Amino acid sequence: MKILFFILLNFIGIVSNGNPENGNELQINFRHFVGSDSLIFKTKEYVNELGQKYTVTKFKYYISNIQLINDSGKVFSSEEYFLINEDEPQSKGFSVKDVPPGNYKTLSFIIGVDSLRNCSGLQEGALDPIKGMFWAWNTGYIFLKLEGTSESSTAQGGIFEYHIGGFKEPVNAIRKISLEMDSLIFADEVPDSKKIFIKADISQILKQPVSIDFSTMPVVSDMTNAELVANNYSDMFSLIKEK
Amino acid sequence: MKLSYLKIVFLAVFSLIILSAFVIENPYYSISQKDVEIVIPQGFPKPVYDFRKNKMSAEAFTLGRKLFYDPLLSKDNFTSCGTCHLRFAAFAHVDHALSHGIANRIGKRNVPALQNLIWKNEFMADGGINHLDLQPIAPLTSEDEMGETLENVILKLQNDSVYPRLFQTAFGDSIVSTKNMMKALSQFVCLMISSDSKYDKFIAGKVEFTLNEKNGLNLFRAKCSSCHKEPLFTDNSYRNNGLAPDPKLNDIGRKLITGKESDLYKFRVPTLRNIEMTYPYMHDGRFNTLEEVLKYYSEGKFHSTGFDKELTKTTGLTESEKIDLIIFLRTLTDKTFLYDRRFANPL
């Protein structure tokens, strides 16, 4: 029976390649850096553009509205919401399932949660308000949280805290990211599993177009400067090669 | 012989009195499916709340009621939703200007009444919350109110000896989730419908108004109803009613939510149902009586920063007009709602 089962699976090409059970899947893995250094919480000290030293204690963000665009412009969309959290290694990789065959050139996603979901009542899973990425007094998800400490900070306890959100005018901090890929081909015949790696560079959150000064702007937790920080981090992602 | 007969009669009467008191205000009043049917009152609009996503059930309502009155939900385990939302005051915090929380903390705004919530699309005086199911998270986690984390509340409920069973009965899942907890709380407050005041009976043609009440209604319709729109007695808009901002509270109102300068000092128009019971008045509870409120609107000394143009209708009320208006406002008191046993504290 066991042998028969194996043969059957092998025939449709699953076991031999360690392939997904049905449909193509794209594994997206996030790697967190500060510049060219890997992110290490608390113990490792980094320096920002203004020469201010800092450590990082929290880094979380939502990835949603993932789209894959093939060479003829056809779009495949995923409906799922993912919360990437440096504190939870398993959260830093996820699979987009049932990708149709094709030669994909562009991967796009938004950092945050779209306005429709922000206005649809209580959500579950990654969007459960228990995850701490939710503003209770002014309904809406926090798209990205970066927290740490710096001697230069003027906030109590020498901390800095950037909680970025806002999905409706006049403050819309939703940012769409598009990454160009050399080639990501899912062939027609057999379901396949591919992996890609995306670098998220925290140093980019603190610079370009605005260099963030821990002494004058240690905390962003309402919407006043949310767009400023969102503009900074909209170029923090890039594709990297990794085995 | 005669004496013992009297004794028996006395005992019987005495126990009847005790028994009747128990029946009238039985804290363990059990809820049937019929008790939780949502009945849309005659003349009311279609509710905003979508009951297809949260079907009313006796079990979920009962769970919601227990949660509402359970101080376990707060950080110090002493403060429940019902601490500040009092049933006999239409779930407002009568005689308290600003909200009270754990560790003697005082909040920034007057506790609103809870009634006819299924017709509201936004909540709080600044409209910051866009769904009823999300509303309880704000007071639960506010440092000035219940001061707890959502994570901890769920943990406490999960480790409780009773709650997992109640969640199982209500939702078929003994795992306590944010979603099911909020659904239960929503069911409890969704049923808080006030529609049986003397005003409602007058509109339905069941009772007559006195001359003063009639006069008050006509005045109300001429001067107040463009914001306090019948039958809900609010148009659910945000308006600047000209109150000078309290420099100690520095409450900017709806601007806090939208960031728009045009929303500075705007607050949601509150309903006037059961208004007699929900004093003090205004977003910061600055007026203790309806007389003070009408004096304010009548005098017309509005704060200069962008007060609502509708306010010009309310100025220059005579003393007898004020009296008639107040007499009318008292017809909005709904004793059927205020003494509804379904909402009594079961703990």
Cα B325 from Cα B329, distance rounded (Å): 6
Amino acid at B149: T
**Taking residues A48-70, what's their average pLDDT?**
98
At A94 the pLDDT is: 97
Cα B165 from Cα B169, distance rounded (Å): 6
pTM for this model (two decimals): 0.88
Least confident of A1-15, A108-122, B40-54, B55-69: A1-15
User: Distance, in angstroms, between A227 CA and closest chain B CA?
Assistant: 13
Q: Select from A119, A122, A128 the residue whose CB has the most chain B CBs within 10 Å, as the one to mutate to test that interface.
A: A122
Q: Are residues A137 and B150, on separate chains, in Cβ contact within 8 Å?
A: no
Element (H, E) at A3: helix A2-11
Cα B71 from Cα B74, distance rounded (Å): 6
Element (H, E) at B326: helix B319-329
| Structure confidence at residue A239 as a pLDDT band (50, 70, 90) | very high
* Six-digit token string for A150: 């710096």
Quote the percentage of chain A above a pLDDT of 90.
84
Find where tokens 């306090």 sit: B228
Residue A116 in contact with partner chain B when CB distance is under 8 A: no
Give the tens place of pLDDT for each residue, B310-325. Answer: 999 999 999 999 999 9
| Structure confidence at residue A63 as a pLDDT band (50, 70, 90) | very high
| Structure confidence at residue A2 as a pLDDT band (50, 70, 90) | very low
Give the tens place of pLDDT for each residue, A185-224. Answer: 999 888 999 999 999 999 999 999 999 999 999 999 888 8
| Structure confidence at residue B19 as a pLDDT band (50, 70, 90) | low
**Taking residues A114-142, what's their average pLDDT?**
95
> Is the pLDDT reported for residue B1 higher than 60?
no
Q: What is the DSSP string of B174-198?
A: -S--HHHHHHHHHHHHHT-----SH
Cα B334 from Cα B95, distance rounded (Å): 19
Cα B274 from Cα B89, distance rounded (Å): 8
Least confident of B10-19, B215-224, B227-236: B10-19
At B28 the pLDDT is: 59
Q: What is the DSSP string of B219-243?
A: HHHHHTTTTS-TTTT----EE---P
**Taking residues B52-65, what's their average pLDDT?**
97
State the pairing for strand pair A219-220/A159-165. Answer: parallel
* Six-digit token string for A4: 């028969």
Q: Are residues A139 and B128, on separate chains, in Cβ contact within 8 Å?
A: yes
> Is the pLDDT reported for residue A126 higher than 70?
yes
Beta carbons of A194 and A163 less than 8 angstroms apart:
no
At A190 the pLDDT is: 86
Question: Quick one: A88 exposed, middle or buried, by C-beta within 10 A (0-12, 13-18, 19+)?
Answer: exposed
| Structure confidence at residue B95 as a pLDDT band (50, 70, 90) | confident
> For residue A136, which residues of chain B lie inside 8 Å, CB to CB?
129, 134, 137-138, 140-142
* Six-digit token string for A106: 């562009």
Q: Are residues B130 and A119, on separate chains, in Cβ contact within 8 Å?
A: yes
CB atoms within 10 A of CB B324: 23
> Is the pLDDT reported for residue B93 higher than 80?
yes
Residue A209 in contact with partner chain B when CB distance is under 8 A: no
Beta carbons of B54 and B133 less than 8 angstroms apart:
yes
> For residue A122, which residues of chain B lie inside 8 Å, CB to CB?
131, 133-134, 178-179, 182-183
User: Distance, in angstroms, between B259 CA and closest chain A CA?
Assistant: 7
User: Distance, in angstroms, between A124 CA and closest chain B CA?
Assistant: 7
| Structure confidence at residue A10 as a pLDDT band (50, 70, 90) | very low
Burial of A14-39, coded b for 16+ CB within 10 Å and e otherwise, reads beeeebbeeebbbebebebbbeeeeb
Beta carbons of A108 and A176 less than 8 angstroms apart:
yes
* Six-digit token string for B268: 């949601």
ipTM exceeding the 0.85 mark: no
| Structure confidence at residue A242 as a pLDDT band (50, 70, 90) | confident
Chain centroid, CA B88 distance in Å: 10
At A7 the pLDDT is: 38
Quote the percentage of chain A above a pLDDT of 70.
91
At A225 the pLDDT is: 92
At A17 the pLDDT is: 41
Q: Are residues B128 and A138, on separate chains, in Cβ contact within 8 Å?
A: yes
Cα A228 from Cα A164, distance rounded (Å): 10
User: Distance, in angstroms, between A177 CA and closest chain B CA?
Assistant: 26
Quote the percentage of chain B above a pLDDT of 90.
87
User: Distance, in angstroms, between B276 CA and closest chain A CA?
Assistant: 28
Find where tokens 């603190």 sit: A206
Chain centroid, CA A23 distance in Å: 23
Residue B53 in contact with partner chain A when CB distance is under 8 A: yes
Residue B172 is classified by DSSP as S
> For residue B138, which residues of chain A lie inside 8 Å, CB to CB?
136-137
> For residue B133, which residues of chain A lie inside 8 Å, CB to CB?
121-122
Q: C-alpha angle B135/B267/A167, rounded to 5°?
A: 55
Q: Chain-wide mean pLDDT for chain B?
A: 93
Beta carbons of A233 and A175 less than 8 angstroms apart:
yes
End-to-end CA distance of chain B: 45
Residue B256 in contact with partner chain A when CB distance is under 8 A: yes
Residue A148's nearest CA partner among A233, A199, A205 is A205
Question: Quick one: A110 exposed, middle or buried, by C-beta within 10 A (0-12, 13-18, 19+)?
Answer: middle
Scan residues 298-337 of B and list those with Cβ closer than 8 Å to A. none
> For residue A225, which residues of chain B lie inside 8 Å, CB to CB?
none
| Structure confidence at residue B2 as a pLDDT band (50, 70, 90) | low
> Is the pLDDT reported for residue A132 higher than 70?
yes
| Contacts with B341 (C-beta within 8 Å, 6 or more apart), sequence order | B25, B26, B29
* Dihedral of the alpha carbons of B240, B243, B247, B248, in degrees to the nearest 10: -100
At A13 the pLDDT is: 28
Residues, chain B: 347
Residue B264 in contact with partner chain A when CB distance is under 8 A: no
Cα A226 from Cα A229, distance rounded (Å): 5
Cα B164 from Cα A168, distance rounded (Å): 38
